[in-house]
Amino acid sequence: MVRFLELARLQSATAVAAIVLAGCSSNGKDTVLSAVLNEVVPGEETGQASNPAENITRAQINRLGVALIRVHETKTADQNLLVAFRQSGPQVTYVLRSDRRLVMHGGLIQSTYGFGHNLAPIGVRDQDPIAFPRPVKHWPAFILRDYEVSDRGAGEPTTVSCGFSFGPIGVLDIVERDVVVQTVRETCSGKGIEFTNRYDVDPSSGAIWRSKQWTGAAQGPLTYEVLEPLD
Which DSSP symbol is given to 122? P
Residue 225's pLDDT band, with cuts at 50, 70 and 90, is: very high
Residue type, 89: G
Express each pLDDT in 94-136 by its tens digit. Answer: 999 778 999 999 999 999 998 888 899 999 999 999 999 999 9
Contact criterion met (CB below 8 Å) for 82 and 73:
no
Residue type, 141: A
CA dihedral 91, 152, 148, 23 (to 10 degrees): 20
Q: Is the pTM of this model over 0.85?
A: no
The answer on pLDDT for 92 being more than 50 is yes
Express each pLDDT in 201-210 by its tens digit. Answer: 999 999 999 9
Residue-range domain boundaries for the chain: 5-228
**Class of the CATH domain delimited by 5-228:** mainly beta
Pick the residue with more confidence: 79 or 21? 79
pLDDT of residue 15: 30
The answer on pLDDT for 199 being more than 90 is yes
